[in-house]
Amino acid sequence: MFEERPNRGAEVVFVGRSNVGKSTLMRELTGHDRFTTGKKPGVTREPNHFDWASEDFMFTDLPGFGFMSGVDERRREQIKTDIVRYVEDNADRILAGVLVVDGKSAVEIIDRHTNDEEIPHDVEMFYFLEELGIPAVVAVNKMDKVDDRDERLNELCDRLGLYPPWQQWTETIAPISAKRGNVEALKEALRHHFHEAKRDDLLKFVT
């Protein structure tokens, strides 16, 4: 089970498969490194709460889901259950849920899992956030490695049930490159959702 959650009235949560660049993104957004609580280096099993600021707000990096080397199936299922429960329990306080994906491989992974007749984790998470009424933003990371940018992003929209072209969905689809420090599209999407939630007081966290 997850440890105690800091008592903050508003938060943005981050979910995604392992290795999509989530910790790189957290560092870029917050200027802080996470502390790794997992026993295995690099594998986080507890949420990382970035609650350094004095405002009643935090960013929360939830553990990576999907395949992780050295983590067995049962443990992975448990992590996913914990993530779902955390988001459900805190839905009222979550201003936005950021689903981080790897722009180069996301569509391929979704399609592979669809063929297995199961709902791919990424798609499931996206709908799950929407069902809870939490604005979902897909941070499509590693775009520096993607050549056919528009085509890739349109395919991703299609898999998420959003009509292409992707440019219609800038509040939802945010192409970024965390490693290059290019996260403006994500910040813009979050600014939109903060504003919609009448939380302009928190815009400084995403400018």
* Cβ within 8 Å of residue 194, ≥6 positions away: 95, 96, 200, 202, 203, 206
Q: What are 102's strand-pairing partners? A: 141
> What is the closest distance, in whole angstroms, from the C-beta atom of residue 34 to ligand GDP in the complex?
8
Relative to beta strand 48-50, strand 10-16 is unpaired
Which range in 6-14, 90-98, 106-114, 137-145 contacts ligand GDP by CB under 6 A?
A: 137-145
- 144 counts as binding ligand GDP under rule CB under 6 A: yes
Q: Which residue of the chain is nearest ligand GDP when measured via CB?
A: 21
Binding mask 171-200 for ligand GDP (x = CB under 6 A): ------xxxx--------------------
- 48 counts as binding ligand GDP under rule CB under 6 A: no
Which one of residues 13, 20, 138, 174 is an interface residue with ligand GDP (CB under 6 A)? 20
- 121 counts as binding ligand GDP under rule CB under 6 A: no
- 152 counts as binding ligand GDP under rule CB under 6 A: no
Cα 143 from Cα 182, distance rounded (Å): 9
And the tokens for 128? Answer: 């799950």
Q: What are 30's strand-pairing partners? A: none
- Spatial strand order of the sheet with 136-141 comes to 48-50, 57-61, 10-16, 94-102, 136-141, 173-175
Nearest residue (CB) to ligand GDP, 144 versus 200: 144
Nearest residue (CB) to ligand GDP, 10 versus 76: 76
- 141 counts as binding ligand GDP under rule CB under 6 A: yes
* Cβ within 8 Å of residue 9, ≥6 positions away: 56, 57, 93
- 33 counts as binding ligand GDP under rule CB under 6 A: no
Which residue carries 């939802």 as its tokens?
172
Which residue carries 């939380």 as its tokens?
199
Interaction site with ligand GDP (CB under 6 A): 16, 18-24, 64, 141-142, 144-145, 177-180
